[in-house]
Amino acid sequence: MSEKYSVLIMRDDTNVRRYRVSSSSLRMLLVVLFCVVLVALCGIFTSFSLWETNTALMKERHGVQKELRDLKVYVERLENIEQILQSNDPEELQALFSSMSVAASAELPPPIDLSSILKIVDANLVEVSNLKLQKATGGNLRLSLKLDNKNAKGNIRGSIALAFITKEGKVIVIDANEKDMDFSINRFKRIVTTFEVPEAMLLNEAYALQVSINKDKTTLLQRIYPMKELM
């Protein structure tokens, strides 16, 4: 004989009602409620997935439409050029070739002034020696050098500026610790600092390291050290 449970419903204005429910029916009710909740969750998940898919398709559609518009404009330009070439009109041909030469020259990158990038400056006041560049932890670089004061008459104060020269001729400034780069020397001082590779480049893109010794916005010494000799 299966177990049964009594369910009493009591209200203030009516008599007490009593219902007998078997344990199997109660379990069935719980299973049905669980299934309803599960179906609702699946429906919510499916709706969200479909919404994301629809959003991605809409973005892709807008991108394709933009490409089609650009291609349409490009085709119209080609048709206009073809008409000008077929017309053999000297004035129109001259205007076409002039516009093409101007557009081509505008796309050329500006020339690189290697003389200013690779310029060596030496005021014969300081000297750099024992320069070493090594890989440190966390992908950083460790620079060490000895800075000598060639001026026997007094103290020299200033700062050191570092930069990478890429193989394309670009100068990428290195953000080194200012406290490490400032100096005050009577005879000599050993400089040690650790810095990150600039985000604008990769280390294997560097051709050389540029070291500049400055005092009051005046460059006392500027040297170029090829990377293949440092690392």
State pLDDT tens for residues 136-170. 988 899 999 999 998 877 889 999 999 999 988 88
Cα–Cα distance, 180 to 185 (Å, whole number): 13
Residue type present at position 225 = Y
pLDDT in tens, 45-104: 999 999 998 988 998 888 888 888 888 888 887 777 777 666 666 666 666 666 655 554
| Residue-wise burial string across 153-168, b where 16 or more C-beta atoms lie within 10 A, e elsewhere | eeebebebbbbbbbee
The pLDDT score that the predictor gives to residue 113 is: 63
Strands of 99-205 (E only): list them.
Answer: 121-122, 126-135, 141-149, 156-166, 171-173, 182-185, 188-195
Q: What is the DSSP letter of 138?
A: G
Contact 128/149 with Cβ under 8 angstroms?
no
Q: Which of 18-27, 73-82, 105-114, 177-186 is predicted with the least confidence, judged by mean pLDDT?
A: 105-114
Q: Is the pTM here over 0.75, yes or no?
A: no
The pLDDT score that the predictor gives to residue 99 is: 64
Strand partners, 148: 127, 188
pLDDT in tens, 103-138: 545 455 556 666 667 788 999 999 999 999 999 988
| Domains recognised in the chain with CATH numbers | 1-108 (no CATH), 114-230 (2.60.40.10)
Residue type present at position 166 = T
Contact 136/195 with Cβ under 8 angstroms?
no
How buried is 141 (Cβ within 10 angstroms: 0-12 exposed, 13-18 middle, 19+ buried)?
A: buried
Cα–Cα distance, 45 to 76 (Å, whole number): 47
* Location of structure tokens 């004035």: 91
Q: What is the DSSP letter of 137?
A: G
The pLDDT score that the predictor gives to residue 168 is: 84
Q: Is residue 212 pLDDT above 60, yes or no?
A: yes
Contact 163/181 with Cβ under 8 angstroms?
no
Radius of gyration from C-alpha coordinates of the chain: 39
Cα–Cα distance, 175 to 128 (Å, whole number): 20
The pLDDT score that the predictor gives to residue 164 is: 94
**H-type alpha helices, the chain:** 23-87, 90-107, 114-117, 178-181, 227-230
More confident residue, 101 or 35: 35
Token output for 124: 């014969």
